[in-house]
Every structure is written in structure tokens, then in C-alpha cells.
Amino acid sequence: MGANPQLNAQGELQHLLTIEGLPRSLLIHILDTAEGFVAVNQQEVRKVPLLRGKAIFNLFFEPSTRTRTTFEIAAKRLSADVINLNISASSQSKGETLLDTVDNLAAMQADMFVVRHAQSGAAHMIARHVAPHIHVVNAGDGRHAHPTQGLLDMFTIRKYKGEFHNLRVAIVGDVLHSRVARSQIHALTTLGVPEVRVIAPKTLLPGDMGQMGVQVYHDLAAGLHEVDVVIILRLQNERMRGARLPSSQEYFKYYGLTAEKLAYAKADAIVMHPGPMNRGVEIDSAVADGEQSVILPQVTFGIAVRMAVMSILAGNQG
């Protein structure tokens, strides 16, 4: 398993599974292409004929209305046919294996699979299995990666900050369980952001964080000091049950982003969140809805970025 499974023999993007290992030029190409689609989304007819006749299957083994919807809108604006499949874990365990499902859909002339799964590596496994003309987009696998989210975050940062090479970015929260954080870290370091910080209690950080090229902080104020971009991660309620945190109240007190804490960052710092937000747990409403928040633009840009990814993939032959 030596070669990068995301690239075809010509070194072009065949699947988008993770940002790790992708060259900087490719990330820039995706972001630039997305700029073109932002313009499309402002047209009278918000649709281009690029993927006319292509069948894109949204395979969601883990429910997520939001992400599925943005992929669906993106595919439809590219004129592709979109088929949504929500495959619950229970029907999986009743005989048909994951790959049986994939084989069956491939037999229906699928051109692209957009995959969301609760297990790290699921998209890689499907990409390894499918015929060479089928493209796989990872829409989130376990704790591993959520590359389109990472890319739309980079798009947002570039929109508001212009460049990457002079930025200080802080990621706050449950890095351990977060595929979003991993994709952001790889994207930020690949794009040349000199200082990426993660801020969390030790129970929400993986064991070997330093090797990923980030600085670890346990104190929110210290970690936010003079940063340009603050990314807040979602804290899932089940984390309170696994002896990782005592309560959401204590978490909010020490790690929740309030206006007072945000003041440690640069005055023009932007605040991002991949959604959906837990107001009063990881972020205060005043900040979420405040002037520095770019959380809603993130969602808008997400459609353009996903259009860019899908059209670049569809144009590359296996």
C-alpha cells in the first residue's frame, strides 16, 4: 500500500479522502476553482452544465442532514443526478456488507460516491475497492478526515485574511474525536501557516500531537493570544459520559469562547465553527452571532468548494 491512493497514475486527484499528502498546488487549484463557483452561485440560474448526465451517490452511513444537503446542492448546481442513501448501521448488520452495497450501487452506473461513515478509514476502503472510473469523496470518516470541510475553512480564511504565510491559527476543543480538526491541521500546515495551535484539556487531545506540527495549549487565554483565526470545534454530548469531562458547564467556563476570551486574540481575528454549534457549551451566542463570526459565510463557501472538488474529480480519468 505504498502509493497515495488519492492520486491516479498521472498524479491527478482521483479521490478526495484526506488532505494529508496532497500537494500545496492542488489545494490552491481547488480553492481557485471554488472562486469560480462562488460566482456561479450568484448567477440568476445558479447552475452549470458541467456534470450533466453524471450520477453522484451520497452514501451516508452516519446521519448528517447538513453535510448531505450541501453536497446535494453542490452536485445539483453542477447538473449531476444526485441519489441520497441513508444507510443505517442496523441494516448493515443484517447481512449485506458495506462492499456489497457499494458494488450494487456501482452496478447502477455510479460516477461518484460521497461517503460519510462513523469509522476512520471507511472512505479509503471503498476507494480501494471501486472500479477505476468511480471517484470517491470522503464526507467524513470517523475521527480521521473531513477534507471538504477543511478546504472550505481554508477558503474562508483566504477570503478574510488574504494570505496563509503570516497567520496564527488556533483550533479549540475536542481535537481527539475531530476529523475536522485533523483535516484543518493538514490543510493549514500544507498551505504554509507558520503557527497552528490546538487548545484543549488533555482528555480531548490525542497522544502524539506534536508530530503533526502543532503547538499544544491547555489554557484558552494563553492559546488565543494574538491569533488571527479562532476555530471552535463542536463538543459532542456523549463526551460527558466517558470520563473525559466532568460537565458542559465546567467546559464552557474554561474552554468556551466568550467575548471576554476572544479579546485575547487579535482585534480583527475571525471566528469559525464547522457546525452544528452547541451554544453555551463551546461558544457563547454573543460571539457566534457577533461581528467577528464568519460561521454563516463558511456554509455558503462550502457549496462552492464542494462544487470545485466534484468537478475536478469528475474531469480526471482513472
List interacting residues with other proteins (CB under 8 A). 1-2, 5, 12, 20, 29, 32-33, 35-40, 43-45, 47-50, 97-99, 117, 119-122, 124-125, 129, 141-145, 179, 182, 206-209, 211-212, 311-312, 314-317
- Based on CB atoms, which residue is closest to other proteins, 202 or 253? 202
Shortest distance (Å) from residue 236 CB to other proteins: 14
Tell me the β-bridge partners of 141. Answer: 117, 145
- Based on CB atoms, which residue is closest to other proteins, 179 or 239? 179
- Based on CB atoms, which residue is closest to other proteins, 21 or 280? 21
Shortest distance (Å) from residue 88 CB to other proteins: 15
Shortest distance (Å) from residue 292 CB to other proteins: 26
- Based on CB atoms, which residue is closest to other proteins, 99 or 221? 99
- Based on CB atoms, which residue is closest to other proteins, 119 or 292? 119
- Based on CB atoms, which residue is closest to other proteins, 110 or 257? 110
Shortest distance (Å) from residue 306 CB to other proteins: 14
Shortest distance (Å) from residue 47 CB to other proteins: 7
Shortest distance (Å) from residue 197 CB to other proteins: 16
